[in-house]
């Protein structure tokens, strides 16, 4: 099968490409820059979700069977907030428009569980059929609007396809070593520079449920750094976030340490979802969260001693190898 992957240079997109290549599919990565580095075995096709004409050309060049739309803008704050709508909303509309010219085309729209917003009470489990609620961030709201465009196209028969809602994807992600791109603040946690937690009892779901306090404790255990010493009340965190975000918007133009959208998301308690359908219908097997965190932390600690693209690639490979060792160790422990 011939597959065109948008967002192919990102963390999730690059893993999708590698898996498809391993399964003997012909894989094309949509990139704005022809010099972009793709996983081995993938072919670059130039195109931009903001430009319908370039998408038309990319679709013709790849002669695709399926498009997997992994591209998206994921951030808690942007100096130019219009980028959320331009990529996460208008980008989906442009892709659907381009796909109209290819009868029988199939699309996998990749989204996030955050697109459901505050759809139920804290710690109440929601599923695919649960009606969405108010959104805590511009990112989540924009993904919901983009998903609605895709779902309308699927329902009308304009395009064959489905939407896949991802949870927080953790592992050897290059964004974790870029302070401006690290939306999880993992780098700060591993370096021991996060003094306090907020909303320590709020629960989110990865493979199993995990409170924010447990999340911090696990990172501390794996990294050897002390966990944050105290917890900030939610109202203090909200006030501080509003102040920092206003300063960023009006004065500095730099990402605030704790943007309003991040704090609202952290205290909302809306991430308890049921992933059973993905296991039943897709046969999904999820990596244990300890393994995923081990890969992420190894990448961060190893990258501090390496420079250059090739050495950073080596850090990613080493991190993934360590993750597999952790998983094997856990399995051995379970059997003993």
pLDDT of residue 183: 47
How confident is the model over 155-184, as a mean pLDDT? Answer: 75
pTM attached to this predicted model:
0.81
Of 158 and 170, the structure prediction assigns the larger pLDDT to 158
pLDDT of residue 234: 82
Instruction: Give the E-state strand segments of the chain in sequence order.
Output: 2-6, 26-31, 42-46, 66-69, 106-112, 160-166, 196-198, 203-205, 209-211, 230-232
| Residue-range domain boundaries for the chain | 2-166, 174-326
Q: Under a CB-based contact definition with an 8 Å cutoff, are residues 74 and 259 in contact?
A: no
Most confident region among 27-36, 151-160, 219-228 by mean pLDDT:
151-160
Q: Domain 2-166 sits in which CATH superfamily?
A: NAD(P)-binding Rossmann-like Domain (3.40.50.720)
How confident is the model over 232-241, as a mean pLDDT? Answer: 86
Q: Under a CB-based contact definition with an 8 Å cutoff, are residues 268 and 136 in contact?
A: yes
Instruction: Assess whether pLDDT exceeds 50 at residue 267.
Output: yes
How confident is the model over 285-296, as a mean pLDDT? Answer: 81
pLDDT of residue 72: 94
């Amino acid at each position: 099968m011939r597959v065109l992957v948008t967002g192919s240079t990102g963390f999730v997109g690059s893993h999708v490409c590698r898996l498809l290549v391993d399964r003997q599919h012909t894989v094309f990565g949509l990139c704005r820059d022809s010099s972009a580095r793709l996983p081995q075995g993938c072919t670059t096709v130039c195109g931009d979700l903001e430009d319908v004409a370039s998408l038309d050309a990319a679709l013709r060049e790849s002669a695709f069977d399926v498009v997997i739309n992994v591209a998206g803008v994921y951030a808690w704050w942007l100096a130019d907030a219009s980028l959320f709508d331009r990529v996460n909303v208008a980008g989906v509309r442009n892709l659907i428009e381009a796909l109209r010219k290819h009868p029988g085309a199939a699309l996998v729209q990749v989204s996030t569980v955050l697109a459901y917003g505050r759809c139920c009470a804290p710690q109440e489990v929601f599923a695919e059929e649960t009606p969405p609620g108010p959104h805590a961030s511009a990112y989540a709201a924009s993904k919901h609007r983009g998903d609605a465009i895709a779902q309308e196209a699927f329902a009308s028969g304009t395009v064959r396809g489905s939407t896949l809602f991802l949870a927080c994807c953790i592992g050897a992600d290059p964004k974790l070593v870029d302070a401006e791109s690290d939306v999880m603040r993992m780098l700060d946690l591993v370096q021991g520079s996060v003094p306090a937690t907020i909303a320590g009892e709020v629960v989110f779901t990865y493979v199993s449920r995990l409170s924010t306090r447990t999340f911090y404790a696990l990172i501390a255990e794996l990294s050897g750094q002390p966990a944050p010493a105290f917890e900030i009340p939610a109202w203090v965190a909200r006030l501080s976030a509003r102040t920092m975000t206003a300063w960023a918007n009006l004065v500095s133009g730099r990402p605030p340490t704790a943007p309003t959208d991040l704090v609202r998301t952290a205290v909302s308690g809306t991430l308890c979802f049921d992933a059973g359908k993905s296991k039943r219908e897709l046969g999904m097997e999820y990596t244990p969260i300890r393994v995923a965190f081990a890969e992420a932390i190894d990448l961060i600690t190893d990258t501090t001693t390496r420079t250059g693209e090739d050495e950073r690639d080596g850090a990613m490979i080493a991190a993934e190898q360590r993750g597999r060792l952790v998983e094997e160790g856990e399995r051995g422990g379970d059997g003993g």
